[in-house]
Structure 1
Amino acid sequence: MHSTHTQKRLRALSTPVILILILCAFVGLVTLFGDKSLARMAAQTMIRVVFVVGLWIFVGNSGVVSFGHAGYMAIGAYASAWLTLKPQTKALFLPDLWPWLAEAQWPVLPAAIAAGLLTACVALISGAAILRLSGIAASIATFAFLAIVNTIYSNWDGVTGATSSVVGLTRYADQWVTLAWAGAAVLVAAVHANSASGLALRATREDEVAASASGINMYGHRLLSLVISGFFVGVAGALFGHSLGVLNPGSFYLGITFITLAMLVVGGVSSLSGAVTGVLVLSCLIEALVRMERGVEIGDVAFALPSGAQEILIGVVMIIVLIVRPTGLMGGRDFQWPKFGKTT
């Protein structure tokens, strides 16, 4: 009995370890054999891992599809910008910031953590209302939240710059910094999923009525998962801004909502390995399509995809995956060491 319990714990631990090793191998190989543009692609991929794993913490465990996480990402991105930009830059582009915030210039790591904590607080407040709903009603409410955040940030001229881009952010979020955060997100997601709260939450995902009858506090567990999810999505926003060095509210709306949900669906919503796999597969596909849009030479023939083909082909890939493997590429399974594959 003790051996069985220990083996189950080792199996649960093996998943995040394998995923972190895969991410390290991906970044290492891209850095070793790629150019600067591929290194930037690796950094963007790790940011997507932080975002999608954060999204999976809520969606994968609760079964409630969220269209609002890009709003949490925007909150984290701008919070980090407010804390790290030089006071002179803020006075020029963001003149209406509160005095203490206008004078602040934090180191990048505390700023990223603070951005995540602020986003977690917003997730707690918004989730307290949204998660009183369930099913499609909750999903529509998350989209309403996204629309509210986008409207505020697109019109709050003196605080967010409105539709003008905020520039001058320190570009520290390279592939190694983002890899460290991706590893942390994977580890926390695995710990939460195997905790009592995570297991109870997945029980509500399978059967809400039976879970409620068993005394499981569905509202409380969903709210906790949304707060943890919000933290990592907020950090992903901070990393996003400090990877590109520029912010615009348009970066946190329908485009990123579609692509991140596509990554989650393609990999498989019901497993952490599916979330990470979907990000890696679609990120590589996106990079290939971007290069093909710019034009590639095959022998003596120059070939280029028409502009906008990237979104269309990603949609086609998602449809094909859903037809062939409705549960995603991983089919709801997680990576595990072979020797932990059986219990006695």
Structure 2
Amino acid sequence: MTMSPDQASQFADAFDRLVRGVEHVVLGKKHVIRLAFVALLSEGHLLLEDVPGTGKTSLARAIAQSVRGTANRVQFTPDLLPGDITGVSIYDQKSGTFEFHRGPIFANIVLADEINRASPKTQAALLEVMEEGQVTADGVTHPVGSPFMVIATQNPIEQSGTYRLPEAQLDRFIMKSSIGYPDHASTIRILEGASARPHDLVVAAVLSAETVVELASLARTVFVDATINDYVSRLVDATRNAPEVRLGASVRGALALIRTAKTLAAANGRHYVLPDDVKALAEPVLAHRLLLDPEAEFDGVTTSSVIAQILIETPPPSERQAG
């Protein structure tokens, strides 16, 4: 079954209402908010690399409130254990059995703050839940529920005492982006509302969690022409053959680009994907999956600049073919 034009219009209306609601809390960052909802409705997870104080926690809380869901925040530290995230089994003396106590991962939106400060073992435990959507303890499987999205953050400035995420684990995030500092006008609006504490700001629920799951299923039905699949394949191949790149994008990256392009097309009111959808998402979806050659890094080359150059050199199909 393929999405109809009417369904695409309804999807776009719901998407815009979600974005407008969160914009009241995270000011001047519509692009990042849209990317976050694209990740959510693509059933993926988001990595934000940003300095402290840019609104990452506010973004996660606002998204959860807008979809009438639950939100938890986990501050990652070197002494954090896997059980502190997933939960632990505790012996109940009355019943004589072990009872599983759920950890903070059991929420619709989970903010994993400064994920690179935790040990690799703890990082791996979180990423395993992200991939499987469930926690297994004592042979019993506990689903985390749906919708489920992890918004993980990294501080790009302070690297002392951190554990860099391996490339294979970075690949688990469907997108990587940053919020950044607000512009002048948005900063003025934030200062005017300085009397209100961040926890006092509440976003009105726009959709139910069940409706979000239905929208995510609907996004998967967006039509993708064979020429779009060919375009994505050529882009991914180009990342592997670029002279500055030691490790290119994986097949998982290509699948992520198609999935998010479908969601973006629906968010724009279309029931089919255009090359522009792929272009708009190529950098946030693919850049963090590349591993640069050390000499290229020394010369100041970035993964974002590599993706930008690949987009210039790889001709897209015409809109007539794609639509």
TM-score range relative to shorter protein: under 0.3
Higher helix proportion = 1
Task: Tell me: higher relative CO, structure 1 or 2? Use CA pairs within 8 A at least 6 residues apart.
Answer: 1
- Give TM-score scaled by structure 1 length: 0.25
- Give TM-score scaled by structure 2 length: 0.26
